[in-house]
Amino acid sequence: MLDRRLFLGAGIAGASALTFSSVWSQSAPNFGLPDLPAVGHKRMKLGKMEIIALNDGAVRRPLGEEFVTNAPLEQVKALLASQNLPTDYIDVPYTPFLLINGDQRYLFDTGFADNGPPTTGKLAANLAAVGLKPTDINNVVLSHFHGDHINGLRNKAGQLVYPNARVHVPSAEHAFWIDDARMEAAPPAMKGAFMGVRRALGNLGGDQLVKFESGAAVAPGITSVAAFGHTPGHTLFRMDSEGQSFAYVADITNVPSLFARAPDWSVLFDMNPAMARVSRRRVFDMLVKDKMMAGGFHFPFPAFGTMEASGNGYQFKPVAA
Ligand SMILES: [Zn+2]
């Protein structure tokens, strides 16, 4: 039953995350281009470390019944309207984070490289803008294996974008997607997601792929936190230096204007919506209680700030751009 439920959710997520052209062709004619930040990088000191949000772009998707799977479209639109946001479409940004600790540079999630729609693939330019080259990245850390998080590991030609990086992955996430029998048994709509994992992560050298247990330390000052539900091994990261903390919360929500405000709503990409909801409230309660600075992959740029309790949910307060 668990696998069946995961398949159903992932079929949608896989199709939507990997068939970028359909997302793009739907969105382009009617609603124009997504808003991209004029400056797509933002630095923050964390003790002896530095954190940099690096925007990879965004897509504008028409808002239909399918996006929130357990609320009527009229309620979804009303929540957007109450925040003076457009109600016909959603801009979904993609923002990997870079942590610099001495000579170690950790890139958390990768975006698309040149594999996505034309309003994505901005990470390389933003990395250059902070004075770094792809060869300077010695570690890539993945929160989960959806296409928008892993496709940027390799360019369209199949070359590694970060050839000097070890790739750290949650072992539960890796075990789910790398299982050939599970791929064979998956419905056709989900096969693409499995093949995407093999394209991005297959053929990594033996010492280049590093698996860790969610909950374990990934490196000095970086601790992983299991937050399963969005995917079977979806994992967050807490960074600590000199008494300061930062949480990279990945896809604990999609856009916070919907799923922080209404944390019991489920985005169609949540593979196990019930488990994702429990993880979301647990993580957000922790962020509120500890007043911790947090960054999210689909948060509006600069994509990090604090989370405050608001009504039955939470409100994301971004730092100034
Ligand atoms: Zn995502």
Ligand 1 centroid – CA 271 distance (Å):
12
Which of 244, 195, 209 has the alpha carbon at shortest distance from 44? Answer: 244
| Residue given tokens 């003076």 in the structure block | 84
Ligand 1 centroid – CA 296 distance (Å):
9
Ligand 1 centroid – CA 242 distance (Å):
30
- Burial annotation 150-189 (CB, 10 A radius, 16+ → b, else e): bbbbbbeeeebbbeebbbbbbebbbebbbeeebbeebeeb
Ligand 1 centroid – CA 292 distance (Å):
22
Ligand 1 centroid – CA 112 distance (Å):
11
- The string of pLDDT tens digits covering residues 6-64 is 444 443 444 444 444 444 444 444 699 999 999 999 999 999 999 999 999 999 999 99
- The string of pLDDT tens digits covering residues 212-224 is 999 999 999 999 9
Ligand 1 centroid – CA 298 distance (Å):
7
Q: How many CB atoms lie within 10 A of CB 100?
A: 18
Q: What is the pLDDT of residue 203?
A: 87
Residue 293 and residue 44 in contact, taking contact as beta carbons nearer than 8 Å: yes
Q: Is 147 helix (H, G, I), strand (E, B) or coil?
A: helix
Give helix 188-201 / helix 2-18 axis angle, nearest 10°. Answer: 70
pTM of the model: 0.92
Rg of the chain, C-alpha, whole Å: 18
Ligand 1 centroid – CA 92 distance (Å):
9
Ligand 1 centroid – CA 300 distance (Å):
13
Task: Count Cα neighbours of 253 within 13 Å in the Cβ-side half-sphere.
Answer: 28
Ligand 1 centroid – CA 95 distance (Å):
9
Mean per-residue pLDDT over the chain, rounded: 92
Residue 187 and residue 158 in contact, taking contact as beta carbons nearer than 8 Å: no
Secondary element (H or E) of residue 18: helix 2-18
| Mean pLDDT for the stretch of residues 135-156 | 98
